[in-house]
Amino acid sequence: MEWIPPTGDYLKFNVDGSVIGKPGPTGIGGVLRDASDSNTTELWAVKKAAELCLSNVNLRGRFISIVSDSKVAVSWVNNGNFGNINCVNSVYDIRDIMSSLGGLEVVHDFRAFNSFADSLAKMRSNNCGDFVEWGDF
State whether 49 and 26 are in the same domain.
Answer: no
State whether 108 and 89 are in the same domain.
Answer: yes
Domain count, the chain: 2
State whether 98 and 54 are in the same domain.
Answer: yes
In a domain, residue 123? The reply is no
- pLDDT digits 0-9 by tens, 81-132: 766 677 888 999 999 999 998 889 999 887 655 666 666 666 655 555 555 5
Query: Residue 4 pLDDT more than 90?
Result: no
Q: What is the 3-state secondary structure (H, E, C) of the chain?
A: CCCCCCCCCCCEEEEEEEECCCCCCEEEEEEEECCCCHHHHHHHHHHHHHHHHHHCHHHCCCCEEEEECCHHHHHHHHCCCCCCHHHHHHHHHHHHHHHHHCCEEEEECCHHHHHHHHHHHHHHHHCCCCCCCCCCC
pTM: 0.62
Where in the sequence is the domain holding 93, given as residue range(s)? Answer: 37-116
In a domain, residue 127? The reply is no
State whether 30 and 41 are in the same domain.
Answer: no
- pLDDT digits 0-9 by tens, 59-84: 878 888 888 888 888 999 998 776 66
